[in-house]
Structure 1
Amino acid sequence: MSNRRMMPIALILLIGVVGAEDRVQSELRFAAHTKDEKTAGVWVDGQYVGFVKELAGDKKLMLLPGKHEIVIRQAWYNEFVKQVILEPGQIEQINVALVKSARLPTKDATGELKIAATPSRAAVFVDGQYAGHVDEFDGVGKAMLLTPGQHRLRIALPGYLPFDTMVDLRPQQKLKIQTDLVKGSITEAGSQVIKQ
């Protein structure tokens, strides 16, 4: 057969393969109603993937079929955990419903920490606890209040090497951390973006 006759056949086969690939994966969608729910961090099978608002619309979350654990975390809220079993081509919606934690911020938290980092959607952990994402702690009127003393800080995002540091805040002290995460392979950085 000539190359001209083979081209349409190859194109039809390619379109069929691409279409079949879409039907194999499952889509995970999130429905959030409050600002805190929309800015909460999302973990799939222990891996941080972003925050709820970011995983909407054209930035949908595609997963392989099977059992997955979805965890949504936000500072001062209990963890929202859901087990899902996804079938090929299935669209699953997670209705986010965060419940306030009994733990309240202490009035002793007088140290102020601002964080400027790129990418700004990276997760921020303080003393091993998820605190939010960089955007929440950078800009006018945005900062994290911490108790005086030493705190372990981690800024992490899949595909980047995490940034780890210790801060030692004094009462009423204001401190700003600024960094650019270094690109790395997912094998280097992915497993390090976990709740410690």
Structure 2
Amino acid sequence: MKTLSILLFSGIVAVGNVWAADGFLKVNAKPGRAGVFVDGKYVGPAKNYGSTRKYTLPEGEHEIRLSEPRYEDLTKKVTITGGKTTKLSEVMTASPLAQGPFGRIRVTNGDKYDAVYINNKFYGHIDEFDNFAQGILIPPGEYTVRIQPVTGNPVETKVTVTANQITFVKAKP
């Protein structure tokens, strides 16, 4: 029985050490709809991880990129300490407004936090572009739209956008 207790205690201490290797990141970004990328991987919109939720990250240095199509991308390095919360607060710089005419891309049939890329540029998450009043205003032309789920394989579609028309893209085949 004494041996069993020591083994159980050792297991708890070992698991505690694994947990201690992770730290947390809170992001407060303006605009809140900016996409957060950790070491190049999209993890969700910034507004999800500001006040109550946080990203769990392994201890060490990480590159954080904030991306929003109407703003200049912002990249910062942060150091995560095990068991501690690191806070990142940033205000992004607005880009000049584009000139019309525009067509609209609407994305349907996906999970709300799946990332949407157009010609390899991050544009937001599906929840921003999936109903009658939403969409991505974009100049007419040919584009490659990629939907990148938080987990799983991306779906890529080539579309032609026409002025004053809505082009629908299905996130799942």
| TM beyond 0.5 | yes
- Indicate whether 1:117 and 2:114 are aligned: no
Structure 2: segments with no counterpart, 5+ residues: none
Judge conservation of contact 2:115–2:150 (CA < 8 Å) in 1. no
Q: Deviations over 1:149-191 (max 9, x none)?
A: 211111113421111111112222212222327xxxxxxxxxx
**What is the CA distance between 1:62 and its match in structure 2?**
1.7
CA RMSD of aligned residues (A): 2.1
Matched residue, 2:55 = 61
The percent of aligned pairs where both chains have the same amino acid is 27
Matched residue, 2:14 = 17
Judge conservation of contact 1:68–1:83 (CA < 8 Å) in 2. yes
Q: 1:18 and 1:59, CA in 2 relative to 1: closer, same or farther beyond 3 A? A: farther
- Indicate whether 1:86 and 2:80 are aligned: yes
Give the paired residue count.
173
Distance 1:149 1:63 in 2: 39
Q: 3-state SS of the aligned residue for 1:62? A: strand
TM-score, length of structure 1 as denominator length: 0.78
**What is the CA distance between 1:21 and its match in structure 2?**
1.8
Specify which of 35, 46, 51 is matched with residue 45 of structure 2: 51
Structure 1: segments with no counterpart, 5+ residues: 182-196
Q: Which amino acid aligns with 1:29?
A: K
**What is the CA distance between 1:5 and its match in structure 2?**
4.5
Distance 2:50 2:5 in 1: 36
Matched residue, 1:105 = 98
Matched residue, 1:184 = none
Distance 1:117 1:50 in 2: 18
- Indicate whether 1:172 and 2:169 are aligned: no
